[in-house]
Amino acid sequence: MTSIGQRLCIQEVSARDGFQMETQAVPTDKKIAYLNRLSETGLSKIEVTSFASPASIPTLADAESVIKGLLRVPGVIYTALVPNLRGCERALATTIDEINLVISASESHNLANLRMTCEQSLVQLASIARRAQSAVQVSASISTAFGCPFEGTIEVARVMDLVGRFADMGIDQVALCDTTGVANPAQVEHLFAEVRSRWPGKQFTAHFHNTRGMGLANVLAALRVGITRFDASLGGLGGCPFAPGATGNICTEDLVHMLQAMGLETGVDLSRLLLIAADLPSLVGHDVPGQVVKAGVSTRRYPFSGAVDRTPPQSITSLTRGLQ
């Protein structure tokens, strides 16, 4: 089990996994202001955009302008998703710190998402790794690692094979992604234990979606086998437009709130995060799934005068009251 005192890394993905799923693009200047606020919260890494084809992901077509507008905070790693060689060239022309390569564990989702077979993707990803490694950090994400909406079960051996292929490319940071929220805690514990025992030196990230309410339970399962890096999305935005039934990632502020309540160290300022989360519905134009911003933190206390006040919380100030 990940121990108390061990620093956990929270990697914010709402500006990529979240905004890619929105029907209306968040205006570029608002994205930049949002990311600059997030940079001040103690997050370890922020995925700021994606260098996907604008035809596939129109809401992230402004990737270059977003990166140009970032006020970088030292210690924060700024990363962007790269699906192909053209995306790599675009990324390398910016000041991004890291590129995050993507492939699916399942053939059908890779075809739907990237319009390539897995082998075609691997050929491109290997040349991207060769091309990019001297300029930027390179990480990789394996989508549908816990199950595929088209094919169902994904064998552990398939994920191990892909992690091995990334190892051959010299990539030591790999995220295992539950793209459509089908993973359960027993499965999570098993898969992460397998990859960690085979590659003890690699940094594995857990990337969960909360589509079936198992997201935070899956975090606990990953913690039990020593995982210390978690992708999460403010407000619980997120989802892959090319995976039927996909919905939001685990919610960053709910995750940080849980970890903090358990006495685990994330380095993230929960009060600041909640203030940004409170503004998120107006930024994206709809309600979001995050729960702590609605309920207030677990240490919140109400005045007791003999009768229970049933009026809903009025302001974000009252929601964060109770935080140390």
Binding site for Zn ion (CB under 5 A): 17
Annotate 205-270 with DSSP letters as a single string: EEEEB-TTS-HHHHHHHHHHTT--EEEEBGGG----TTSTT--PBPBHHHHHHHHHHTT-B----H
**Is residue 248 a contact residue for ligand COA (CB under 6 A)?**
no
Shortest distance, CB of residue 179 to Zn ion, whole angstroms? 6
Nearer to Zn ion, 12 or 17 (CB): 17
Q: Which residues contact 164 (CB under 8 A, 6 or more apart)?
A: none
Distance CA 143, CA 36 (A): 28
**Is residue 143 a contact residue for ligand COA (CB under 6 A)?**
yes
The catalytically annotated residue of 9, 88, 118, 240 is: 240
Distance CA 63, CA 90 (A): 9
* Residue 97 three-state SS: coil
Q: Is 240 a catalytic residue?
A: yes
By a kind-dependent CB cut-off of 5 to 8 A, residue 149 interacts, out of Zn ion, ligand COA, none, with: none
* Contact window for ligand COA (CB under 6 A) among 27-35, 113-121, 203-211, 270-278: 113-121
* Contact window for ligand COA (CB under 6 A) among 109-117, 214-222, 280-288, 296-304: 109-117
- Pick one of 7, 68, 86, 130: the residue that binds ligand COA (CB under 6 A): 86
Q: Which residues contact 175 (CB under 8 A, 6 or more apart)?
A: 100, 139, 140, 141, 142, 204, 205, 206, 207, 229, 231
**Chain centroid to CA 81: how far?**
11
- Pick one of 59, 84, 233, 266: the residue that binds ligand COA (CB under 6 A): 84
* Contact window for ligand COA (CB under 6 A) among 110-118, 144-152, 247-255, 280-288: 110-118
Return the CA Rg of the chain. 19
CB 318 within 8 A of CB 296: yes
**Is residue 50 a contact residue for ligand COA (CB under 6 A)?**
yes
Tokens 């190892």 correspond to 167
By a kind-dependent CB cut-off of 5 to 8 A, residue 244 interacts, out of ligand COA, Zn ion, none, with: none
Size, binding site for ligand COA by CB under 6 A? 21
Nearer to ligand COA, 2 or 65 (CB): 65
- Catalytic residue numbers read 240
Binding-site ranges for ligand COA (CB under 6 A): 20, 50-54, 56-57, 81, 83-84, 86-87, 90, 102, 113-115, 143, 240, 242
